[in-house]
Amino acid sequence: MASRPMRANRRDTRLVHLALWSVLVLLANALGAVVLQADAGAAPAPISGTGSYFAGPAIDSWVTTTTNAPYDLSVSFGPSNSGIGRYEFTNQQTDFAVTDIGYAGTTDTTPPSFPFDYVPIVGEGVAYYYNIPGLTQQLKLTSYTACAILTGGITNWDDPALAAINPGVTLPNLAIIPVTQSASDVTNVAMEQWCIAEQPSLWAAFVNAQETQAGGPTDGVQLSPTTAYPNWPGIKGGLDDQSTVAVAGDVEVDPGAIGAVQPLFALDDGVPGPARNVALVENASGDFTAPTSIDVTSALAYATPQDNGYQNLNFNGLGPNVYNPSTFSYLLTPTTGWSLAKGQTLSAFVNYALTLGQQAAPSFGYATLGQLLEHFGINEVASDVPGAVPMTAAEQAYYNCGDLTPADVAAGNTTPSCESSPGNGLPEAPYAVAFPVLALGALGGVFMMRRRRRLNRVLKGHSISEN
C-alpha cells in the first residue's frame, strides 16, 4: 500500500499537470483571437470577374460601395454575357463570374474541373411584354395561355382561352406575333422550366412538333421535354431575335406582338397603358400578379438549393403576391486553390451583396432573393471559401431579419415579420479561417471541463487526507 506522503506527492503532480493544461488551453484560445484579428486586419487581395450583362448594374453598384470604407475592397467586374463569364471561369481566366444560367443544359462551356459553388446573387422576373391596340385593361395570362402563345398553340388574340380569363375585356381579332429569342438567355431557361413544370403535356407536344410538324420551329434550337435550355426557337408567324433588347423593341413597334423580357427592358421602352404593358400572370393561389420587385421576391422565397448551390425553383408557392416565372443570377466562386486574402475579399463582397446590397436591388429594377436564398449564399461561402470573414454588425442585422420567408409570403406580407428568423443570426457553417483554431479552443474547453471535475475530486480528497 502506498504511503500517505506518496499519495500526497501524486496529488501534487496532478495539480501541476492540471495547471499546465489550463495554461495550454488559455494559450490556444488566445492564439485563436490573435489569428482572427490578424486575418481581419490583413489587406484584402484584388479579385476580378465578368459575366452577366443583365446583372451588371447591380454588381457594379455593389463594387462601387465596397470599394469605399469600411470595406476597402478591390473588386472589379466587366459585364459581358453569361456565356463569356462561364467560359472564363472554367478556364481560370477570372477569379469569379456571374451567370444567369447554370452549366447544366448548356453546350457553350464545360463545367470547371475544380470545385466551385453557385451563389444566388440577384433576382429577376420574366415579364410578358405585349402590344394589343385598343385593350382597355391590363392583359391576364395563365401558365397555359402564356406557354401556348409562345409555342404557337394560340395564334389570335380573341382566342376563347384568352377571353375566359379576361372577362369584360374586348380582345381584338388580331393575329398574335410571338417574338422569341433563339440566343442564349435567362428568360428562356425560366420560361422552359415554368412550362415544363406547369404545362408538361403542352411543352412535350411542342418539343415533338419541332421535328415533325410542318411549319413548326425551323431554326434547329435544342429542346427537351424535361430539361430547360437557354434558347427558344422561332415560331411560325413570329419574329426570331438574338437579344432581349431586340425582343422589347419589336414588341414596342409591332401591333399584336408579345415577347418575354426582363421587366427592366419593358420599362425602358415605356408602358403607356393597358394596350402596351406587361401581363398579369395567375399564380398558384389564383391571384393575377405583375413582375414587380416584391412579387418576384415572394416567388423566389420558395426556391430550394441543391448541394452545389444550384437552386430548384418552386413555381407553386402560395401567396397573393407571388409572381412566376421568376428566376435569378448566380455568382460562381472557386472553393479551393485560393489564397486566404482572395477568399477574404470574395466573402466580404458576398456578405454585403446578400444583405445591405439586397436592400438597394429594387432601385435598379431587380428583386431581393428572400431570406432563405440570402442565408444559403452567405453560409455557403462561409463554409466553402478559404479565408471567409464574418459579416459586419449591419450585415448581421439584415441577415437576422431583412427579407421575406415562405411564411411571410403565404401570409401576404410585403415586409418581413421576423417571426421565423434565427435566434442568434449566426450562419450555420463555421468560417473557414477561424474554424481550425476555434475548434482547438473548443476541444480544449471540453478537456478543461473534464479536468476541472477531476481537480475538484482531487482537491476534495486532498483536503480530507490532510485534515
Mean pLDDT of 32-57: 69
The 10 Å CB-count burial string (b at 16+, else e) for 143-177 is bbbbbbbbbbbbbebebeebeebbeebebeeeebb
127: pLDDT strictly greater than 80: yes
Per residue in 17-26, pLDDT (tens digit) is 434 434 333 3
Q: Which pLDDT value is given to residue 184?
A: 84
C-alpha cell at 355: 444583405
Query: Which of 9-18, 76-85, 204-213, 406-415 has the lowest average pLDDT?
Result: 9-18
Residue ranges per domain, the chain?
A: 4-40+436-466, 42-125+300-432, 127-290
- Whole-number Å distance between alpha carbons of 392 and 351: 8
67: pLDDT strictly greater than 90: yes
This model's pTM is above 0.85: no
Per residue in 396-444, pLDDT (tens digit) is 999 999 999 999 999 999 999 987 555 434 444 333 333 333 333 333 3
* Three-class SS of the chain: CCCHHHHHHHHHHHHHHHHHHHHHHHHHHHHHHHHHHHHHHCCCCCEEEEECCCCHHHHHHHHHHHHCCCCCCCEEEEECCHHHHHHHHHCCCCCEEEECCCCCCCCCCCCCCCCEEEEEEEEEECEEEEECCCCCCCCEECHHHHHHHCCCCCCECCCHHHHHHCCCCCCCCCECEEEEECCCCHHHHHHHHHHHHHCHHHHHHHHHHHHHCCCCCCCCCCCCCCCCCCCCCCCCCCEEECCHHHHHHHHHHCCCEEEEECHHHHHHHCCCECCEEECEEECCCCCEECCCHHHHHHHHCCCEECCCCCEECCCCCCCCCCCCCEEEEEEEEECCCCCHHHHHHHHHHHHHHCCHHHHHHHHHCCECCCHHHHHHHHHHHHHHCCCCCCCCHHHHHHHHCCCCCHHHHHCCCCCCCCCCCCCCCCCCCCCCCHHHHHHHHHHHHHHHHHHHHHHHHHHHHHHHHHC
Q: Which pLDDT value is given to residue 36?
A: 37
Per residue in 248-289, pLDDT (tens digit) is 999 999 999 999 999 888 877 777 789 999 999 999 999 999
Mean pLDDT of 40-64: 87
Q: What are phi and psi of 276, to 5 degrees?
A: -140, 105
Among 2, 9, 11, 20, which Cα is nearest to 461's? 11
C-alpha distances in Å from residue 166, one per residue of 177, 183, 309, 438 = 19, 32, 39, 62
User: What proportion of the chain, given as a percentage, has pLDDT over 90?
Assistant: 63
Q: Which pLDDT value is given to residue 198?
A: 97
Per residue in 282-333, pLDDT (tens digit) is 999 999 999 999 999 999 999 987 766 677 889 999 999 999 999 999 999 9
Mean pLDDT of 382-400: 96
Confidence of residue 338 (pLDDT cuts 50, 70, 90): confident
Class of the CATH domain delimited by 42-125+300-432: alpha beta
Q: Which pLDDT value is given to residue 220?
A: 67
40: pLDDT strictly greater than 90: no
Higher local confidence (pLDDT), 87 or 444: 87
Q: Which pLDDT value is given to residue 308?
A: 63
**Mean pLDDT of the residues in the chain:** 82
The superfamily (CATH) of domain 127-290 is: Periplasmic binding protein-like II (3.40.190.10)
Q: Please report how the helices 340-353 and 371-384 are oriented relative to each other, as an axis angle in degrees rounded to 10.
A: 170
| Beta strand pairing call for 276-278 and 127-131 | antiparallel
